[in-house]
């Protein structure tokens, strides 16, 4: 595990991001708190895509572009 200050991270971002991508734990400490730097996984991308699609669907419904089923029709 590498523990780095915000100042050191800013000076050597590439080195620490490469380490995180290779599976090493990198912890950034700052006056705002402590943060673990980890790469985004394929699962994270899938969730992000699904949430984006769901938000688009809800927005379209609210704008009257599409009709969504009511909960009672889906559950029962």
Q: Can you give the pLDDT at residue 76? A: 66
Give the residue with greater pLDDT, 73 vs 57.
57
Are 20 and 38 spatial neighbours (Cβ–Cβ below 8 Å)?
Answer: yes
- Name all domains of the chain by residue range, CATH numbers in brackets: 2-37 (3.40.1620), 42-75 (no CATH)
For residue 55, give the 3-state DSSP assignment: helix
For residue 29, give the 3-state DSSP assignment: strand
> What does the pLDDT look like over 52-66, one tens digit per residue?
899 999 999 999 999
> What does the pLDDT look like over 32-47, one tens digit per residue?
999 999 888 877 778 8
Q: What is the pTM of this model?
A: 0.55
> What does the pLDDT look like over 16-28, one tens digit per residue?
999 999 989 999 9
**Residue 19, exposed/middle/buried by CB under 10 A (0-12, 13-18, 19+)?**
middle
Structure-derived torsion over alpha carbons of residues 9, 13, 18, 21, reported in degrees to the nearest 10: 70
């Amino acid at each position: 595990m590498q523990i780095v200050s915000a100042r050191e991270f800013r000076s050597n971002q590439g080195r620490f991001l490469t380490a995180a991508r290779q599976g090493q734990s990198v912890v950034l400490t700052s006056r705002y708190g402590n943060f673990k730097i980890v790469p985004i996984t394929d699962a994270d991308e899938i969730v992000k895509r699904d949430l984006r699609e769901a938000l688009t669907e809800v927005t379209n419904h609210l704008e009257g572009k599409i009709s969504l089923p009511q909960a009672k029709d889906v559950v029962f």
